[in-house]
Amino acid sequence: MAYVALSEAEKTYILHGVEDDFRCDGRSRRDYRPMELETGLVSNASGSARLRLANTDILVGVKTEIDVPNPLTPEFGKLEFFVDCSANATPEFEGRGGSDLAQELVLSLQNAYESPLAFDYRTLCLIPGQQCWKLYIDILILECGGNLHDAVSLAAKAALFNTKLPRVTATLLDAGITDLIISDNPYDCTRIGIETVPLLVTVCKIGDYCLVDPSAEEEVCSTVSVVVSVSMRNGEPFLSGTHLTGGGAMHRDTMRNCLQLGLSIGEHLDKLLTKMLKLEQERVGPKRPKTVGFLK
């Protein structure tokens, strides 16, 4: 993790701010920092999204490939996460420096997406037991400003929303061999349902209080955080995975409060993201503004 040097006085200041429910940037404990989201900026990928959460900058590209399903789950497609911590974020990530952090992020995403109720792997199936889609979700961390888990999961969900799978028709050849015909028309494509796709919410414990969306400075002050993955089903938030990060430990009751806070925040976040993505989807043709990317 990008290291931020803080003196004792600065840490106390942050701690007191959290106690008074008035953090350094004026937020309350339940507030997020401003976010910017843009989809479809990488033309070489099937789907892409860039999310900027204050100083945290994430670019996600989704690549598709046709693969053979796992024999144990013949009706399921495949998802693979890959996180790359770019040295642009901090010189510590040079070479293999970011691989530990990347591994942690990949694991928490894998856990969150593992349940078939959280991500419908059946939509990625082409011919049960023979062919399925494999989605590579490649996440690039360009700047670290704290709260990577949340930012990464939001960007991944937006990129999945933006992903276009070309329509595939199967023809039966001799001897029971099936052949896949992939549509040449780039507009003849299907989308992936993202209603249940989970979001990660990091609940960070500073002093005796829990808060969401910690900045890099607040992360230094925290002893322990809970990463809660929230999957929405029929308008209800469900927990699809959770784990503790950081060196400290927390009481069972605090843990329960953290999970509750995570779930309610996750529900709200999911609603907002879905609303924004719907707006983005409606802006087509002349209404669609040019992609801004990094030129803003």
Partner 1 sequence: MASNFELLSEQGLRLDGRRPHELRHIKCKLGVFEQPDGSAYMEQGNTKVLAAVYGPHQAKGKKTESNDVIINCQYSQATFSTAERKNRPRGDRKSLEFKMYLQQALSAAIKSELYPRSQIDIYVEVLQADGANYAVALNAATLALIDAGICLNEFIVACTASLSKSNIPLTDISHFEEVSGGPKLTVAALPTAEKIAFLEMSERFHIDHLETVIETAMAGCREIRDILEAAVKEHLLHMGSAADWARVC
Among 65, 100, 188, 195, binds partner 1 (CB under 8 A): 65
Site string for partner 1, 74-113 (x = CB under 8 A): --------x-x-xxxxxx--xx------------------
Which range in 40-48, 163-171, 205-213, 245-253 contacts partner 1 by CB under 8 A? 40-48
- Closest Cα partner for 8 from 213, 221, 176? 221
> Closest separation between CB of residue 6 and partner 1, Å?
16
Beta strands in 185-235 (DSSP E): 189-190, 199-206, 209-212, 224-233
- Looking at the Cβ atoms of 140 and 197, the one nearer to partner 1 is 140
Exposed / middle / buried, residue 47 (Cβ in 10 Å: 0-12, 13-18, 19+): buried
Tokens of 208: 């005796």
Per CB under 8 A, 7 contacts partner 1: no
Residue 226 CA to residue 230 CA, distance in Å, equals 12
Q: Name the residue nearer to partner 1 (CB basis): 138 or 150.
A: 138
Phi and psi torsions of 95, nearest 5°: 65, -120
Q: Contact, 209 vs 18, CB < 8 A?
A: yes
The binding track of 254-293 with respect to partner 1, each residue x by CB under 8 A or -, is: ---------------------------------------x
Report the candidate in 84, 108, 106, 105 with the shortest Cα–Cα distance to residue 96: 84
How far apart are alpha carbons 143 and 230 in whole angstroms? 25
Q: How many residues bind partner 1 (CB under 8 A)?
A: 33
Is the Cβ of residue 116 or residue 293 nearer to partner 1 in the bound state? 293
Tokens of 155: 């960007």
**List 7, 44, 185, 234, residue binding partner 1 (CB under 8 A):** 44
Does 188 sit near partner 1 (CB under 8 A)?
Answer: no
Sites of contact with partner 1 (CB under 8 A): 2, 42-45, 48, 55, 57, 59, 61-63, 65, 82, 84, 86-91, 94-95, 136, 138, 140, 142-145, 293-295
